[in-house]
């Protein structure tokens, strides 16, 4: 087991990657004392996001090792600081992708902490005190109250965990781009961790949902399990042609799908929302954009206020992620399977 | 001089047309329909020269049907009105822009968005329901359904106002649709040509702070001293571009040549909007990273519906906005096209049709 010299007063234990192989192994570290605005909690479940896979292997070049991943974290409060108002010991709470921001810029004052230039990621980032943040693949966390959300009783904790990144990542753009009105026709490209939740949220908002996929293999799943209204195989020219100009909006999680066919599927004034980031720029034909007054927009997670709103919406509408719960020591095998897309649709580690 | 075989129960018309991909224009006899019950006939006085005219003349977009008479920034005087025409009288100052027909029944038409109707009929290089071709404003007269005719406000000069019918509405509609009109916000106008210079004027009238973004340093003085922009950003200077990162709420991209989007996207603040109206004929390179990490968007927009075009003309009349033009005779059009191809015009050629077009 690897460990760090203890810079903080409380012992903590997790699994960390120590180099770009990305292999995780047991790791001892420490968490800070519970400050006056902090919430300390025992981690019960942690979802595995594809970003975790990129980070443990340093795909983006920003990783700090040892790296304890995990930013879809749920647990039970064990201690609260003297100025904490929203939570008490025993509460069910969650933490997503952020644990800090500047609190003073335009974005922060507009509940858009996720776009703050000084936003602090839940793991692999430098906290205000200069120490490195460690994520939810661990047994305990201490987080500023501002970045903690409450999980309602009727949401099972394991199925709620993925909402903290995947859920908010699809909920926020559906609202922001106005694709949340009953009767609109929304397409979802890519049926994985994000995509399956996009279908559920969009349906709950009253839209008609079509899953767009390159293969027919997920059709039964999409229609029977996830509740999509229809399924379009984008490689079948007849299906594609028949669907031209029929979508009010399309949310694409897939990073590599060419944009031109998707733009063609949109009605005039339609919106294409991209959530996946490909390595190279995409080709954007300007004519269809101009002639149909269409737009391509992006989005990244959501602010804290909206994240809580999303959790409450999910609780109200019974929206849960479809998960495969695993033990912590299965995590490396899970990462290998995730790389191949072999999961329906999120691994969630039972950390206790 | 060439003629068409489409005469018969139509009336004679005369203009200048291109007959092949050289795009060279020459005198041309053709015909237009007789004035129907819903129609207004215009004697054409002026016609603006839009860069789209040049693209179509040379078949750069691949769908030109020769012979083609371009011109969709048309102003003139009504000489006939059909018996069902209520909005116009003989003698009225009127204009015709980019479209002369649509289906009138689809959702777009019902929402005053005729310009997005899938069955739109363009003012030139398009086909009427009866199969005849449409010819544009480089001609002596035109017959148009009253729905697609605009009333030209009294205090708007006819010659300098003509370019508003395409350039003006393109800028105005895109700014309104994308919510880029909030006073005090910062708009970047990329490209200073026919569209760009009108964008600066309209944006200032909305109370925006305006920065012209251009790769030509010699446009700085023009932009600030003549057009009233607040500042100038030299896009070819990496240091200047770096210091402008995250400084603009919106960018209106009027550049028609292919160009990289990443530098412009970087200049936008979080939640910023880049609206492209320049019709580049090659795909743009879209870096997705800034869209996702900054919740930015790239949208397009294309002229405007009839109601909004009238609203734009009235807005421009109220704020004394007209284009900066170079008036030319019809027989100078080919030279003008060569100069336009090199962007050698401040900022729109307008053909003095009334005084220079004759058989």
Per DSSP, the three-state class of A140 is strand
Domains B10-166+323-356 and B168-300 share a fold: no
Q: Is A182 on the interface with B (CB under 8 A)?
A: no
CATH architecture of B10-166+323-356: Alpha-Beta Complex (3.90)
pLDDT higher than threshold 50 for residue B8 = no
What's the rounded Cα separation, in Å, for the pair B250 and B227? 19
pLDDT of residue B4: 43
User: pLDDT tens for residues B182-230?
Assistant: 999 999 999 999 999 999 999 999 999 999 999 999 999 999 999 999 9
A310, A205 contact by CB (below 8 A): no
pLDDT of residue B1: 53
pLDDT of residue A72: 98
Is domain B168-300 classified as CATH 3.40.50.720?
A: yes
Which of A286, A294, A297, A303 has the highest number of chain B CBs within 10 A, making it the mutation to test binding with B? Answer: A286
B63, B36 contact by CB (below 8 A): no
pLDDT-based confidence at residue A224 (cuts at 50, 70, 90)? very high
Closest partner CB to B294 (pick from A115, A245, A296) = A115
Rounded to two decimals, the ipTM of the complex is 0.90
What's the rounded Cα separation, in Å, for the pair B321 and B185? 20
- Does the beta-carbon distance from B292 to A299 stay under 8 Å? yes
Percent of chain A, pLDDT > 70?
99
User: pLDDT tens for residues B25-81?
Assistant: 999 999 999 999 999 999 999 999 999 999 999 999 899 999 999 999 999 999 999
What are the residue boundaries of the structural domains of chain B, listed by start?
Answer: 10-166+323-356, 168-300
The residues in A 326-345 lying below 8 A from B, measured between CB atoms, are none
pLDDT of residue A255: 66
pLDDT of residue A285: 86
Q: Is A278 on the interface with B (CB under 8 A)?
A: yes
User: pLDDT tens for residues A280-338?
Assistant: 888 888 889 999 999 999 999 999 999 999 999 999 999 999 999 999 999 999 999 99
Residues in B closer than 8 angstroms to A284, CB to CB, are 261, 283-286, 298
User: pLDDT tens for residues A243-264?
Assistant: 999 999 999 987 667 888 999 9
Question: Which chain B residue has the Cα nearest residue A106?
Answer: B270
Residues in A closer than 8 angstroms to B177, CB to CB, are 293
Q: Which residue has the higher pLDDT, B146 or B359?
A: B146
How big is the A-B interface in CB pairs under 8 Å?
111
Nearest residue to B157 (alpha-carbon basis) of B322, B277, B282: B322
Per DSSP, the three-state class of B257 is coil
Count of CB atoms within 10 A of residue B238's CB? 10
Using an 8 Å CB-CB cutoff, list residues of chain B that contact chain A: 108, 113, 116, 118, 177, 261-262, 270-271, 276-281, 283-302
Q: Is A183 on the interface with B (CB under 8 A)?
A: no
- Does the beta-carbon distance from A296 to B277 stay under 8 Å? no
- Name the minimum distance, in Å, from the CA of B188 to any CA of chain A: 18
pLDDT higher than threshold 70 for residue B3 = no
pLDDT-based confidence at residue B256 (cuts at 50, 70, 90)? confident
User: pLDDT tens for residues B127-143?
Assistant: 998 899 999 999 999 99
pLDDT of residue A147: 98
- Name the minimum distance, in Å, from the CA of A115 to any CA of chain B: 6
- Does the beta-carbon distance from B297 to A297 stay under 8 Å? yes
Residues in A closer than 8 angstroms to B293, CB to CB, are 115, 298, 300
Q: Is A286 on the interface with B (CB under 8 A)?
A: yes
What's the rounded Cα separation, in Å, for the pair A20 and A22? 5
pLDDT of residue A1: 76
> b/e per residue, B323-345, with b = 16+ CB within 10 A?
bbbeebebebbbebbebbeebeb
State pTM to two decimals.
0.92
- The tokens describing A190, both together, are 């890519």
Is cis: bond before B121, omega within 30 of 0?
no
């Amino acid at each position: 087991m690897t460990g760090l010299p203890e810079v903080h007063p409380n012992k903590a234990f997790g699994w960390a990657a120590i180099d770009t192989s990305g292999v995780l192994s047991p790791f001892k570290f420490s968490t800070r004392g519970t400050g006056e605005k902090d919430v300390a909690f025992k981690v019960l479940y942690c979802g595995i996001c594809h970003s975790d896979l990129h980070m443990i292997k340093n795909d983006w070049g920003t990783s700090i090792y040892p790296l304890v991943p995990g930013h879809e974290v749920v647990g039970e409060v064990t201690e609260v600081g003297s100025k904490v108002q929203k939570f008490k010991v025993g509460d069910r709470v969650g933490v997503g992708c952020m644990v800090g921001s500047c609190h003073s810029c335009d974005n922060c004052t507009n509940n858009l902490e996720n776009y703050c230039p000084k936003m602090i990621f839940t793991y692999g980032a430098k906290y205000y005190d200069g120490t490195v943040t460690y994520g939810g693949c661990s047994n305990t966390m201490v987080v500023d109250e501002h970045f903690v959300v409450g999980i309602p009783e009727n949401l099972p904790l394991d199925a709620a965990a993925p909402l903290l990144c995947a859920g908010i990542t699809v909920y926020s753009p559906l609202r922001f781009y106005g694709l949340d009105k009953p009767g609109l026709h929304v397409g979802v490209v890519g049926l994985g961790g994000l995509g399956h939740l996009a279908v559920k949220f969009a349906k709950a908002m009253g839209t008609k949902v079509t899953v767009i996929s390159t293969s027919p293999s997920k059709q039964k799943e999409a229609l029977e399990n996830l509740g999509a209204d229809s399924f379009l195989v984008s490689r079948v020219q007849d299906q594609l042609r028949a669907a031209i100009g029929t979508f009010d909006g399309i949310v694409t999680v897939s990073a590599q799908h060419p944009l031109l066919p998707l733009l063609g599927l949109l009605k005039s004034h339609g919106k294409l929302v991209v959530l996946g980031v490909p390595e190279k720029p995409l080709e954007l034909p300007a004519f269809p954009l101009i002639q149909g007054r269409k737009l391509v927009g992006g989005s990244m997670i959501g602010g804290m206020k909206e994240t809580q709103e999303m959790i409450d919406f999910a609780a109200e509408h019974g929206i849960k992620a479809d998960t495969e719960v695993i033990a912590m020591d299965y995590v490396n095998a899970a990462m290998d399977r995730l790389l191949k897309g072999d999961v329906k649709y999120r691994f969630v580690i039972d950390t206790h | 001089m060439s003629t068409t075989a489409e005469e018969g129960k139509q009336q004679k018309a005369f203009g200048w047309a291109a007959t092949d991909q050289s795009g060279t224009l020459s005198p041309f006899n053709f015909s237009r329909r007789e004035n129907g019950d819903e129609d207004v006939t215009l004697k054409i006085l002026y016609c603006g020269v839009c860069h789209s005219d040049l693209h179509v003349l040379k078949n750069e977009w691949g769908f030109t049907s020769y012979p083609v008479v371009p011109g969709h920034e048309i102003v003139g005087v009504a000489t006939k009105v059909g018996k069902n025409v209520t909005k116009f009288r003989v003698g009225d100052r009127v204009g015709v822009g980019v479209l002369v027909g649509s289906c009138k029944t689809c959702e777009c038409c019902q929402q005053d968005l005729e310009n997005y109707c899938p069955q739109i009929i363009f003012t030139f290089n398009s086909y009427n329901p009866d199969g005849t071709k449409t010819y544009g404003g480089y001609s002596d007269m035109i017959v148009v359904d009253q729905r697609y005719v605009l009333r030209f406000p009294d205090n708007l000069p006819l010659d300098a106002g003509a370019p508003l019918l395409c350039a003006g509405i393109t800028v105005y509609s895109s700014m309104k649709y994308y919510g880029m009109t909030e006073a005090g916000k910062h708009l970047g106008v990329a490209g200073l040509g026919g569209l760009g210079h009108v964008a600066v004027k309209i944006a200032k009238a909305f109370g925006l702070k305006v920065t012209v973004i251009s790769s030509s340093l010699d446009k700085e003085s023009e932009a600030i001293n003549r057009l009233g922009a607040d500042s100038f950003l030299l896009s070819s200077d990496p240091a200047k571009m770096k210091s402008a990162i995250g400084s603009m709420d919106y960018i209106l991209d009027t550049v028609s040549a292919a160009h990289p989007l990443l530098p412009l996207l970087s200049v936008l603040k979080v939640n910023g909007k880049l609206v492209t109206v320049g019709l580049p004929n090659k795909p743009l390179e879209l870096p997705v990273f800034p869209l996702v990490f900054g919740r930015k968007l790239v949208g397009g927009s294309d002229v405007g519906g009839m109601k909004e075009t009238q609203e734009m003309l009235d807005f421009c009349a109220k704020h004394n906005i007209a284009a900066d033009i170079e008036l030319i005779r019809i027989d100078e059009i080919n030279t003008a096209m060569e100069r336009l191809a090199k962007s050698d015009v401040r900022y729109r050629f307008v053909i003095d049709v009334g005084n220079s077009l004759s058989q």
